[in-house]
Amino acid sequence: MQLIHTKNKLRTFVREARAQGKTIGFVPTMGYLHAGHGSLIQTARKQNDVVVVSVFVNPTQFGPNEDLSAYPRDAERDLALMRTHGADVAFFPNVEEIYPAGFTTYVEVQGPMTATLCGRSRPGHFRGVATVVTKLFHMAAPDRAYFGQKDAQQVAVIQQMTRDLDFDLQIVVCPTLREPDGLAMSSRNVYLSTAERAQAPTISKALFEAEAMIQKGERTVAAVSQHIQKKLQTMPGAAIDYISIVDARTLADLETLHSTVLIAVAVKLGRTRLIDNIRVDVS
């Protein structure tokens, strides 16, 4: 596995691989990798000749009161996981490599897709996501890029951006990986205290109970949302950011359930903000 720090060296590697007729799979991450990231790398390994994994904690997607400085980082751990799962390139750019002096251009997906869910409480977040992913796509020039379903709104934004800007690549969405007790794997789980970690699986339980309600015939958004709210309120000290049931493709709010819906929640436990979601096909 090659360790690369600059975009010029990455581009050189990619050009040489393409000259040999090889396909490129790309897994962009913010590091502190876990088994969920490992599954993305494994899937990319199966579908491509070359796998590039980037680690970059992107400052433009953090708000002024968010956890940029405290975001967990462990390069050696990340490199070990990449090797285990078969990455060919580990791309570790610094901030100046991505945002050089004088940088003033940003990419923004507008409309309901970025105004709902996390967009309501994290203004500017998805502008930062779209900007850094655009730059990374240009640097890695992949045939396929891999993202986890846990970050469903991010995935929808990137899919829209890819269509709108005519990127010649496929966005591959992989299932959310969960701990044995149901908690969605996340780099931020390391922030949880022992007591908070014991409570956290209530989030996924609430989502799966909501899914069961729909499968039994419930079609009213309000009823499903109220059930989730009551379940989440059983966690001492939990602060609910949002409970949203939206169209899975457009992320538009719904009043009645139809087609495929995304049930998404964000909850703050202590200092840790956790998100989770499930997609449900409504027959």
- Beta strands 238-247 and 89-91 are unpaired
**Least confident piece of the model among 42-46, 83-87, 234-238:** 234-238
- Mean pLDDT over 203-223 rounds to 97
Q: How confident is the model at residue 247 (pLDDT cuts 50, 70, 90)?
A: very high
CB count in 10 Å sphere of residue 171: 17
Query: Does residue 283 register a pLDDT over 90?
Result: no
Q: Does domain 2-174 have CATH number 3.40.50.620?
A: yes
Query: How far apart are the C-alpha atoms of 205 and 104, rounded to whole Å?
Result: 43
Q: Per residue in 177-213, is it b (16+ CB within 10 Å) or e — as a string?
A: bbbeeebbbbbebebbeeebbebbbbbbbbbeebbeb
- Mean pLDDT over 101-107 rounds to 98
Give the contacts of 5 (CB within 8 A, at least 6 positions apart).
91, 92, 93, 94, 97
Query: Does residue 244 register a pLDDT over 90?
Result: yes
> What does the pLDDT read at residue 65?
84
Q: Express as a percent the part of the chain with pLDDT over 70.
A: 100
Q: Which of 5, 34, 37, 138 is catalytic?
A: 37
Query: Does residue 109 register a pLDDT over 90?
Result: yes
Catalytic residue check, 37: yes
> What does the pLDDT read at residue 255?
86
Do the Cβ atoms of 51 and 89 come closer than 8 Å? yes
The rounded mean pLDDT for the chain is 96
Query: How far apart are the C-alpha atoms of 237 and 234, rounded to whole Å?
Result: 9
- Mean pLDDT over 28-49 rounds to 97
Q: Per residue in 266-276, is it b (16+ CB within 10 Å) or e — as a string?
A: bbebeebbbbb
Taking Cα atoms as reference points, which of 44, 37, 245, 23 lies closest to residue 141? 23
User: Domain spanning 187-276: which CATH class is it, in words?
Assistant: alpha beta
* pLDDT tens for each residue of 139-150: 999 999 999 999
Six-digit token string for 34:
């876990």
Query: Does residue 213 register a pLDDT over 90?
Result: yes
Q: What residue ranges do the domains of the chain occupy? A: 2-174, 187-276
Taking Cα atoms as reference points, which of 251, 241, 82 lies closest to residue 158? 251
Do the Cβ atoms of 263 and 211 come closer than 8 Å? yes
- Mean pLDDT over 230-255 rounds to 94
Helix axes 7-19, 125-140, angle to 10 degrees: 50
Six-digit token string for 232:
């989440």
Query: How far apart are the C-alpha atoms of 95 and 99, rounded to whole Å?
Result: 6
Fold: same for 2-174 and 187-276? no
